[in-house]
Homo-oligomer: A and B are copies of this chain.
Amino acid sequence: MDEPKVQAFRPPVISLLTDFGTRDAFVGIMKGVILSINPAVALVDLSHDVPPQDITAGALLLRSAAGFFPPGTIHVAVVDPGVGSARRALLVETHTAFFVGPDNGLLSLAAPADTVVRIVHLTNAEYFLTARSHTFHGRDVFAPVAAHVSLGKAPEQFGPSLTAMERLTLPKVEYHAAGLTGSVIYIDHFGNVITNITAADLQPFPKESLLVSMDDMQIQGVVASYAAVEVGAPAVLINSWGMLEIAVRNGSAAQRFGVLPGHPVHLTLT
């Protein structure tokens, strides 16, 4: 079979993350706006099923994904309960990427302060759609700005620079003599329960001697993969985000243990 040997053109990538769902054409409309300005972008959906108005879930997903995209990727994120209010619209440039979205913390986990080159307050209406609504800045502000960024327009042209943006603070892990206490931050599609405890938090401890407990559930040892336990059995592992996760092989841990984000998780050394 013939395979192309030469790359004619490296299209810029624009990723999209929203809580718009995929039923109503909102996301398709944003893509139409982008392609009307720059027909040669590669568009990638991160997720449009962020729980409505759940800024933290959106911020975690954006952080989980951004590092795997080509340098210069433009990530548009819209979970925006304050649309139409005084909340600011932002373009954030980091060492490796651009982020476009509302100033409500959504962009903050993917763009930690030490990676930020510039934060621009989007005020230059020249780059917005003309017939602007008060309810859909994804279409009217964020999509056209992202498209213009993908054409190489300099960030300064979109508005004045800011010294800071809204930042989310995730719950912190607490360290005790006997171990540590973290909490559930996200439940994924499979019902896997993801905590705020990182691989680095576990580094000091031998993996087999850790006891993970959540209410009256107790699991001994951290394993390498789901396949290390029997079908239907619970497993604790470091997941693809680099975080401690409680799973049930081929099942839903969230359902089995009845937990939601915010639920405490204890690690003790046995």
**Chain A positions near chain B (C-beta within 8 angstroms):** 1-5, 7-13, 15, 17, 20-29, 31-33, 35-36, 38-40, 42-50, 52-53, 61-62, 64-65, 68-73, 81-85, 87, 133-136, 139-140, 149-152, 188-190, 224-228, 231, 237-240, 245, 249-250
A152 closest partner in B (C-beta) = B3
Known: A135-B237, A226-B81. A15 touches B40 (CB 8 A): no
A227 to B80, CA, bound (A): 10
A62 to B238, CA, bound (A): 31
A1 to B72, CA, bound (A): 6
A52 to chain B, nearest CB (A): 6
Is B36's CB under 8 angstroms from A68's CB? yes
Is A11's CB under 8 angstroms from B4's CB? yes
Partner of A40, one of B4, B32, B50: B4
Is B45's CB under 8 angstroms from A42's CB? no
